[in-house]
Chains A and B, each alone.
Chain A
Amino acid sequence: MSSPENIPSETSAAESIASAGAGTPAATARPARRLTIARAIAEAIGQEMGRDSDVLVMGEDIAKLGGVFGTTTGLLDRFGAERVRDTPISETAFIGAAVGLAASGMKPVVELMFVDFFGVCMDAIYNLAAKQSYFSGGNVTCPMVLMTSVGGGYGDAGQHSQTLYATFGHLPGLKVVIPSNAYDAKGLMLAAIRDPNPVIFMYHKALQGMGWLGTVQRSITDAPEGDYVVPLGKAKVAREGGDVTLVGLGLSVHQALDAAERLVGDGASAEVIDLVSIAPLDREAVRASVRKTGRLLVVDDDYLSYGVGAEVIASVCEAGIALRAAPQRIAFPDIPVPFTPVMEHFVLPNADKIVAAARAMMEMTSHD
């Protein structure tokens, strides 16, 4: 991770505002500088390429096109084809190459266009990259970033709509982060590139600011032009409350924030935790919130079983925190993602489901 001196003094103020998804920062005189997550990612990579000649980018359609999800816009023009490389459609080859580049001192940022495609390159990721430092007694690190799109909701079916957070979070040696807004996206990417070990940087398609995927306006936040890092492995309180803790990541943070707004009408105040990272998982941040609220509802759009929700709930239960209602989770059921939009949206998490689950948890305790 990067040293603290890279963090500008305005970071903490801007950070709390950005993570709350609120409007213009009052603390700064400059007009807000709003970016989509896609622009924030491209800006971070470009800044680090300008600062560090060891950084390069590889992937399918990332050079001339600028990435199908806009993550590398403008980089080819600035840095040239030597450092911004379009690859053939062979994840096996180019992600394997990235692991080798990292072992020999380069800092590759490599894009796996859809996380769903991990099958053909997983050996390089979990057997080589993830274990390089451990196997070499710390002598050979693997400073690579694998950025990859996750999530559905736009009718792209079962091989282009998964999130697979837990699949990666389960494997030792990998750090796994997912931003919910542009401020975090930029700071996390800068931290990820500087980290000596492999970081899986997941970005949710519904938050990219690409029109054809829909856009959650709250993810378009102020992001300073300068250099700053958002630490890997630290959760954030996106909204403070005292009655129930809603835990989310990426898109589900916004669904939880929408639900929290509606719960106000019931007289209930929900606290929303943005995990930001699932490996390392900031268990203490969740525990601190649940100690206060006594109720825990975890929301994610990965498959339910053996998932993020289970891990977060276990972290709280293992700490022996007194609960006012049984902890709950909302996730994607254990089925392939349907193609038909009506069926897909029926099974995806949303604010309605969160509100209903939170109300049921309040009910559970209103009689005792």
Chain B
Amino acid sequence: MTEVTVPTGLWDTGDEAAISAWLYADGDAVAAGAVIAEIMVEKSSFELVAPASGTLAILVAAEIPVVQGQTVARIA
């Protein structure tokens, strides 16, 4: 099982971030390297990339604030 975490160092830690959209649904098969979600920070978009192939389990829904390094999904 691999944890999917919010990237660090791409934006100021004080800025509010949230996943704007999960491109895949909970339980979908995903391939390593695929963009699985987009994170919006102050109207800029960042990619969340699948670190492994497998079945996606979403832990944090879209539109909920997230912080850098936070685990938002697992791939098993």
Report whether chain A binds chain B. Answer: yes
Shortest distance in angstroms between B24's beta carbon and chain A's nearest beta carbon?
A: 6
Do B34 and A31 touch (CB < 8 A)? yes
Do A210 and B23 touch (CB < 8 A)? no
A209 cross-chain contacts in B, Cβ below 8 A: 20-21, 23, 38
Do B31 and A35 touch (CB < 8 A)? no
Do A212 and B29 touch (CB < 8 A)? no
Cβ of A70 within 8 Å of any chain B Cβ, yes or no, is yes
Most buried by B among A34, A209, A210: A34
Do B20 and A24 touch (CB < 8 A)? no
Cβ of A315 within 8 Å of any chain B Cβ, yes or no, is no
Do A36 and B38 touch (CB < 8 A)? yes
Cβ of A220 within 8 Å of any chain B Cβ, yes or no, is yes
Do B29 and A31 touch (CB < 8 A)? yes
Do B24 and A34 touch (CB < 8 A)? yes
Do A34 and B23 touch (CB < 8 A)? yes
Which residues A31-67 have CB closer than 8 A to chain B? 31-36, 39
Do B28 and A31 touch (CB < 8 A)? yes
With A215-B20, A220-B21 already in contact, the answer to whether A24 and B40 are too (CB < 8 A) is: no
A31 to B50, CA, bound (A): 12
Cβ of A217 within 8 Å of any chain B Cβ, yes or no, is yes
Cβ of A105 within 8 Å of any chain B Cβ, yes or no, is no
Do A70 and B45 touch (CB < 8 A)? yes
Contact of B63 among A36, A73, A211 (CB under 8 A): A211
With A36-B23, A220-B21, A220-B23 already in contact, the answer to whether A212 and B28 are too (CB < 8 A) is: no
B21 cross-chain contacts in A, Cβ below 8 A: 36, 209, 211, 215, 217, 220
With A36-B21, A215-B62 already in contact, the answer to whether A31 and B30 are too (CB < 8 A) is: yes
What are 24 A-to-B residue pairs whose CB atoms are below 8 Å? A23-B25, A24-B28, A24-B29, A31-B28, A31-B29, A31-B34, A31-B53, A32-B28, A33-B34, A34-B34, A36-B21, A36-B23, A73-B45, A209-B21, A209-B23, A209-B38, A210-B20, A210-B40, A210-B45, A211-B63, A212-B20, A215-B21, A215-B62, A220-B23
3 A-B pairs closest in CB distance:
A211-B20, A211-B40, A31-B29
- Give B contacts to A, CB under 8 Å: 18-21, 23-25, 28-31, 34-35, 38, 40, 43, 45, 53, 62-63
Q: Give 12 new A-B contacts, CB below 8 A, not counting A31-B29, A34-B28.
A: A24-B28, A30-B31, A31-B31, A33-B31, A34-B34, A35-B23, A70-B45, A209-B21, A210-B20, A211-B63, A215-B62, A220-B23
